[in-house]
């Protein structure tokens, strides 16, 4: 019954070319044994290419151990372990992890056989093991144009032996007729190798192309004793592949189909394979969905035909994505059609077709139902999430309470999901599919937000006394509240409440221009929940006006060392007080003699300072405080450079150095001989009309802060010169302590050296104005004569040199 159901399901999704025909009895091992099959096991001649040494045969008409009748296992040659066995229950292969009984393209094979094992020899000197199982088929009479097919599927596990390809472990399928074996139906499956030096290695790239994969499980055969470079990870696997053999050419004759698994020659590496056969012999079948969707790829497959060429025909308007021999992947358009497959080799010409209908693509549609729920309020109420505009059925709904990181399945296929018992904020969406051929899609999300009942909390302080017209910023504070919206209200009679500030999230509230006793409260709400009301606080009012004053300027910046003006105009008040009076001049007596009352105090802070004035009005217990912020800029100074001497018409580069890098303007006076008077680095060129000139540079920043400095320039009418003193007294009394040249008109290439009487250089400098202090390497030098050499050039490059002696006197 199970086979019949599988066959009916297969016909729903495939079409065949030809009439249904009966398969040979137990061709698919459905009896759970080898009845009608013959078998054999044996060993190869050691170190000889595929030469059989010894064989044990098992016929198909005797009971075991002579034949296979009702046998479920056949042992390895001269061993007790299984060499061939029928599999009636499914599992996964140890090395390849594929199923040992396959389901391929929707067809369940239900039974299979395993040929071979991981055993590599008999323990003696014999060569590699081989084992095989075959079936002699009486092909029904009929026209040779009517296909009669045997479809088998195989999967393999082969241990890499690194031999020539023909000596490698392998699996073979052979068709034998009265005239011999038929190459058009024969197949040999083995790992491809290539020569490397004097030996052979597996051609991994070609092996992968042929569908092999390297197993992650090691070989059970450790060969490291004879091969130190042995790698245990050398087992390759190939999953299930379907193959078809057409026997129509031998109608009315007997043929034999044999499957064999061979270890390597001579020995040492194993091979085993799984074989499953269909119970359908009618002809070629196309596996694939008979319903297509316009927005999805579809794949159609026929079994392999040994050595065949394949031809696919698809409906007009369809697009081929991939045409790979016995498999084709297409994208259909909106029109239905027929797919035709043809497989041809030297002894078969097979055709099949499949009619495909078209389904429009899935449209997920839109869901609506965003809402907010109050926790614990109406727990039995349901909240609908509604799907509209979809094409396709609801497969199920899914929900997430962590914003989509993890989804939970909801077993509901209706278009309206009624949500109850919300325990946390949750998003929902529906999974839609317009038939099995179309893609599964999902909708947008709808969110049901869970809020909690608000808590209004408590306002503090619970009582405040204010004066007429008094305003107090942030006077009231709402504590321990929970909720998203605060609505402050006031009332003078506890009956009529007026909104002060609507839709605010601020937990503090100010008091403005209260004219009589007033009450305040806060209303706190959470969306979806009823609001909550805080306690009431009262504001008492003294019937006296709150002090009022105008301060100007409120903030100001002054230059360092200058005076700031503090001005306050009191409109309402009787008294005032400066809270830091020690630094204020003309601060006043503190008594307001009449209003308006003007205060004009002065201060000269050396750094940033805040001056606070407190004003009171008799009868009102509350004070008005105000603050004047005085910022003080850093001290500003300017350096015009050192006094100097120049020649007539000698260009002199002036440079002013400010105390910091602030933006400022410059002014040099007088302008005599200057290239500019408003830059920091003008050039001065003086004629002989003056003996000397004093330049003054002023700097003024953006605040108006200023500073000045002077520079004396003396004119040398006699040309450039270097003058040296005859001696010096370095006794640190501040008089004649240094031996240094006096230069006039020297501007470049200057140096000054001093030598002791042994010719050692005790001092050197190329900086004008620097001199020798009478020490060498930190040690005071003795009194006596020292030789000096000095040289320099004027602005035109003319050199002046002087040498001589000077006396050090201590």
pLDDT of residue 228: 67
Across residues 666-680, what is the average pLDDT?
Answer: 94
pLDDT surpasses 70 at 19: no
CA 146, 147, 148: angle at the middle one, nearest 5?
120
Q: Is residue 21 within 8 Å of residue 281, measured between CB atoms?
A: yes
The token pair that represents 529 in the structure block: 């929940």
Largest CA distance in the chain: 144
Is the pLDDT assigned to residue 14 strictly greater than 60?
A: no
Rounded mean pLDDT, 284-309: 89
Checking phi first, is residue 47 left (phi over 0); if not, alpha (psi -120 to 50) or beta? left
Q: Where are the beta strands (DSSP E) in 720-798?
A: 721-723, 727-728, 742-744, 748-755, 761-765, 775-776, 779-780, 784-793
326-366, pLDDT tens digit by residue? 999 999 988 999 999 999 998 889 999 999 999 899 999 99
Secondary structure of residue 209 in the 3-state scheme: helix
Cis peptide bond N-terminal to 596, omega within 30: yes
* pLDDT > 90 in the chain, percent: 69
Report the DSSP beta bridge partners of residue 744.
Answer: 721
* pLDDT the model gives residue 47: 72
Question: In sequence order, which residues have a C-beta less than 8 Å from that of residue 132 and are 6 or more positions away?
Answer: 39, 40, 41, 115, 258, 259, 260, 261
pLDDT computed for residue 16 by the predictor: 37
**Would you place residue 124 in the very low, low, confident or very high pLDDT band (cuts 50, 70, 90)?**
low
Residue-wise pLDDT tens digits, 751-765: 999 999 999 999 999
Residue with tokens 């031809």, as numbered in its chain: 311
Torsional sign, CA 181, 187, 189, 190: positive
Contact criterion met (CB below 8 Å) for 547 and 469: no
Question: What are 167-222's pLDDT values in tens digits?
Answer: 899 999 999 999 999 988 899 999 999 988 878 899 999 999 999 999 999 999 88
Can you give the pLDDT at residue 17?
A: 37
Q: Which of 122, 123, 125 is nearest to 76 (CA)?
A: 122
Binned at pLDDT 50, 70 and 90, residue 122 comes out as low
Position 159 pLDDT exceeds 90: yes
Name which residue leads in pLDDT, 612 or 197. 612
Could you report how far apart the first and last alpha carbons of the chain are, in Å?
131
Cα(60)–Cα(235) distance, integer angstroms: 33
Average pLDDT (385-391) is 96
Q: Which pair of structure tokens corresponds to residue 469? A: 């017209």
Tokens standing for residue 43: 């060993």
pLDDT at 7 over 70: no
pLDDT level of residue 683 (50, 70, 90 thresholds)? very high
190's tokens: 């083995």
pLDDT of residue 272 exceeding 60, the answer is yes
CA 225, CA 278: separation in Å to the nearest integer? 45
Average pLDDT over residues 597-614: 93
> Does 8 score more than 60 pLDDT?
no
How confident is the model at residue 533, as a pLDDT? 94
Reported as a single tens digit per residue, the pLDDT across 495-549 is: 999 988 655 668 898 888 788 899 999 999 988 899 999 999 999 999 999 999 9
DSSP conformation class of 439: P
Per the CB < 8 A criterion, the answer to whether 532 and 456 are in contact is yes
Q: 275 falls in which pLDDT band (50, 70, 90)?
A: very high
Q: Are 538 and 492 in contact (CB under 8 A)?
A: no
- Check pLDDT > 80 for residue 21: no
């Amino acid at each position: 019954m199970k086979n019949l159901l599988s066959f009916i399901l297969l016909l729903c999704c495939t079409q065949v070319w030809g009439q249904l025909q009966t398969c040979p009895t137990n061709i698919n091992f459905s009896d759970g044994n080898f009845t009608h099959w013959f078998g054999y096991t044996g060993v190869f001649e050691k170190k000889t290419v595929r030469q059989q040494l010894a064989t044990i045969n098992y016929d198909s008409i005797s009971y075991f151990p002579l034949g296979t009748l009702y046998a479920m296992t056949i042992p390895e040659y001269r061993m007790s372990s299984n060499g061939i066995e029928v599999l009636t229950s499914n599992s996964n292969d140890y090395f390849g992890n594929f199923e040992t009984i396959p389901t391929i393209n929707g067809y369940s094979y239900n039974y299979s056989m395993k040929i071979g094992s991981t055993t590599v020899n008999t323990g003696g000197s014999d060569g590699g093991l081989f084992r095989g199982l075959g079936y002699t088929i009486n092909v029904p009479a009929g026209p040779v144009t009517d296909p009669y097919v045997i479809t088998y599927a195989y999967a393999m596990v082969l241990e890499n032996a690194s031999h020539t390809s023909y000596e490698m472990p392998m699996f073979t399928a052979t068709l034998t007729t009265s005239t011999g074996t038929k190459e058009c139906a024969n197949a040999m499956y083995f790992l491809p190798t290539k020569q490397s030096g004097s030996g052979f290695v597996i051609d991994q790239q070609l092996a992968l192309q042929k569908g092999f994969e390297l197993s992650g499980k090691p070989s059970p055969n450790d060969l490291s004793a004879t091969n130190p470079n042995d790698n245990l990870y050398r087992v390759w696997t190939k999953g299930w592949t379907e193959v078809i053999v057409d026997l129509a050419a031998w109608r009315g004759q007997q043929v034999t189909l044999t499957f064999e698994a061979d270890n390597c020659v001579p020995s040492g590496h194993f091979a085993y394979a799984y074989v499953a056969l269909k119970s359908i012999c009618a002809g070629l079948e196309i596996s694939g969905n008979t319903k297509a969707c316009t927005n999805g790829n579809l794949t159609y497959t026929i079994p392999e035909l040994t050595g065949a060429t394949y031809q696919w025909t698809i409906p007009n308007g369809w697009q081929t994505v991939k045409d790979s021999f016995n498999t084709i992947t297409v994208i259909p358009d909106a029109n239905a059609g027929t797919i035709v497959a043809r497989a041809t080799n030297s002894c078969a010409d097979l055709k099949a077709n499949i009619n495909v209908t078209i389904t429009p693509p899935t449209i997920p549609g839109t869901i609506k139902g965003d809402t907010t729920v109050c926790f614990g309020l109406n727990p039995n109420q349901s909240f609908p999430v509604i799907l509209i505009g979809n094409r396709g059925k609801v497969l199920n709904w899914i929900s997430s309470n962590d914003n989509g990181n993890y989804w939970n399945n909801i077993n509901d296929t209706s278009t309206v999901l009624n949500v109850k018992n919300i325990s946390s904020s949750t998003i929902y969406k529906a999974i839609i599919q317009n038939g099995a051929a179309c893609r599964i899609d999902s909708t947008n999300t709808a969110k049901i937000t869970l809020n909690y009942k608000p808590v209004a909390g408590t306002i503090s302080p619970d009582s405040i006394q204010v004066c007429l017209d008094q305003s107090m910023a942030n006077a009231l504070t709402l504590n321990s509240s929970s909720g998203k919206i605060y609505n402050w209200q006031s009332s003078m009679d506890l009956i009529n409440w007026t909104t002060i500030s609507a839709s605010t999230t601020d937990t503090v509230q100010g008091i403005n221009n209260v004219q009589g006793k007033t009450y305040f409260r806060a209303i706190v709400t959470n969306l979806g929940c009823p609001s909550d009301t805080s306690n009431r606080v009262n504001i008492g009012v003294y019937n006296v006006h709150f002090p009022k004053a105008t301060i100007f300027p409120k903030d100001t910046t002054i230059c360092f060392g200058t005076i700031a003006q503090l001005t306050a105009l009191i409109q309402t008040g009787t008294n005032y007080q400066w809270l830091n009076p020690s630094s204020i001049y003309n601060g006043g007596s503190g008594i307001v003699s009449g209003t308006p009352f003007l205060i004009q105090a002065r201060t000269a802070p050396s750094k940033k300072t805040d001056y606070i004035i407190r004003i009171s009005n008799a009868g009102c217990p509350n004070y008005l405080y105000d603050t004047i912020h005085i910022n003080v800029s850093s001290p500003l100074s300017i350096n015009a450079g050192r006094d100097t001497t120049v020649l007539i018409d000698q260009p002199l580069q002036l440079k002013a150095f400010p105390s910091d890098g602030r933006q400022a303007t410059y002014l040099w006076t007088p302008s005599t001989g200057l290239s500019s008077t408003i830059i920091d680095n003008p050039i001065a060129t003086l004629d002989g009309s003056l003996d000397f000139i004093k330049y003054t540079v002023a700097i003024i920043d953006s605040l108006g802060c200023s500073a000045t400095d002077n520079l004396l320039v003396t004119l040398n009418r006699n040309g450039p010169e270097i003058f040296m003193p005859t001696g010096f007294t370095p006794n640190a009394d501040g008089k004649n302590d240094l031996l240094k040249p006096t230069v006039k008109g020297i501007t470049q290439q200057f140096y000054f050296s001093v030598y002791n009487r042994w010719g050692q250089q005790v001092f050197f400098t190329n900086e004008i104005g620097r001199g020798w202090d009478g020490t060498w390497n930190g040690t005071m030098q003795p009194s006596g004569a020292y030789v000096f050499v000095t040289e320099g050039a004027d602005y035109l490059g003319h050199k002046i040199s002087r040498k001589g002696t000077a006396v050090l006197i201590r």
